[in-house]
A and B are shown apart, each in its own frame.
Chain A
Amino acid sequence: MASLIVRKNTDSLGAAELAALRAGYAKAQTIMDNRGYNHFAGIHGIPNWYCWHHSHTQGSNVNANLFLPWHRAYLLYFERAIRDQSPPTPKVGLPWWDWTSNTSHSVGVPHAFSVATAGGQPNPLFKARIVAPTATPPINRFTRRFPGNPAQLPTAASVNALLNLTQFNDFTSQLENIHDFVHGWTGGNNGSVGGDMGSLGTAAWDPIFWSHHCNIDRLWYLWQLKHGVNNITPNLLPMVLQPFGLKVQDVLSINALGYEYAVSFITL
């Protein structure tokens, strides 16, 4: 029986785990078909624009906020694609970036993602090449990132306050607001142009995108533990999360999806 994938804090990955994660990202970044990094990044914004932010209607007047379910499905597919390209052992899950931590408030983007090289090679968690030939104008360049002052990152108190919200629509709206801030903060600008995390079209190419969203997904999971796994507007349940084929009702339980979040993890 397959065991659950354990998603860990970016700062608690062991050296072998970080090396395996980097190997998976590096390999995926060389693949240009639908197994590769460029394909998955292009689902979010340029050129396919499938991502679901804020509230939309779909074939009805129902105001559907599928921000959290859609990104959960997105991470799931991406994580599987990265693991396909990773070494056999150790198999790692996507790590989550806790931007409320003392470390983040000191250094900002986690060290694993902010160093340009690792082991004498370009760090695939630092940047990735955007290849979007159908964009206007076409894009073919590496991602850029100009993060802001680490002290401005969201606090644990602000996250705890939103975990106490009892209505799903209320919770997802406020969590998305914090998510929006982190995107703008991480992308930032150099005075003449912004970083890629700061714009929806290119954000998913920045490797830190996936760990930012992993933390968002983790916070939803923590909220679910507190307020109920099935605590979501009922008429959202049958809605399909394009292009993944999963419905909202399929992504409510992370254990049913084959993963879990660990605060600490010790192997004896």
Chain B
Amino acid sequence: MRWLLLKDLQILRRSPLQAVLLVAYPVLIALLVGFAISRDSDKPRVAFLNEIPAGSRVSVGQTELPAVEVDQRICRRVDCVDVASREEAIEEVRSGDVLAALILPADLVDQINSLSTPRPGAPQVEVIVNEEDPVKAQLVDDRITSLLAQANLLIARRIANEGGKFLDLVINGGDFEVIGQTVEILGLRASAQILQALRPAVARGGLRKSLDQVVEFTNLSRSNLDVGAVLLSRLTQPIAVDKQVVSGGAPPLDLFAIAVAATLTLTFVVVLLVAGSLALEREENAFARLTRGLVSRSGLLAEKVGLGVAVGVVVTLLMLAGLELFVSLAWERFALWLAAIVGGGAALGAAGAALGAGARDVRAVSLLAFMVSLPIAFLSLIPSGAVGGALYDAIQALTALFPFKPTLRAMTAALDSGGDSIRGPFLHLAALAVAYGLLARFALRRFAVT
């Protein structure tokens, strides 16, 4: 069998395009994934024009809120490209250099301040987008909506905070600044105490009864306004999120991206190589000559799967080594990586052998391998909840029949030290390797010379 393996490697070496693809493909995938996960994808480029006069402050009543450094806050969440005018902002969006433009108009603070007056205005920011691409438009909408929600929340918190201070002043009393003058506010608590102290001096009868009513009112008001202060603080974020993970402890996004890249690489390399090299035996008319007592059919299948696993291990490790340039991988888990790659490679190789045994020539089998692998890989990446329940169940059942998803689970488990055990997906892969091996062996019966 080793001579057949040597022969296949010689043929591979003699096919420059295939050999280059086998090396270039994982390197390319590693670079793409590396750049994608090492770059902060949460920061889209946005043209930013702040026309608000310097020193403008949002105020509540007569009190100015602390400065909020709007520029810094916004530019922490997006990659701000400063522009000098509205026209420049429009040009930046039109040329595609930025995803959108955000303009804070000069009267924005005045409009916000007017909210606490009898004639409230309508504060607005201007967003300029290019909606020629619906996906891009949706992305911009989501980003801007999120940004404004953050800004509104921030202002609401400031207002609630200031409102809370006013309530405290009304309840407990204290000093209050009005047009440069300090005014002492008595407060409900002290008012009630004074009135209570005056009570014995008031004659029994109608006047004392009225005094008791006023004391009761101040006490009740104080108690209820205490609750009001709490409610005011809750108003800014009435619903809090209590996240509980019931299953599938999600791996870090970087590791999942690496697992997907490694699995895709392994899938295409192994399936195409095994299917193609098996179909080549038929295309070269060598199958009949080989199986005339030189090699058994099962032996030939084992050699092809072995070829796929060997090349798959080298190529996938090459890709992971390339990713080490961008992210730090846990090399102490190397044995688990190897187990995942070998298990996945064996099952994918057996699936490739079944495809190769079912097709007549290398071109047809290459096309078939792509047509099968691509949709399965795509379906395997659909998360639960993204589609209807019944459809998701159907997708789960379908993707469980092909080795891509269990390989992805095995790779994820091997890469993520805090993730699931590799045992489950490994057993799944072993079962698929046996099933596809039997299918390939059966398909080889019609492979002989006719």
Are A and B co-members of a single complex?
A: no
The interface of chain A, by Cβ under 8 A from chain B, is none
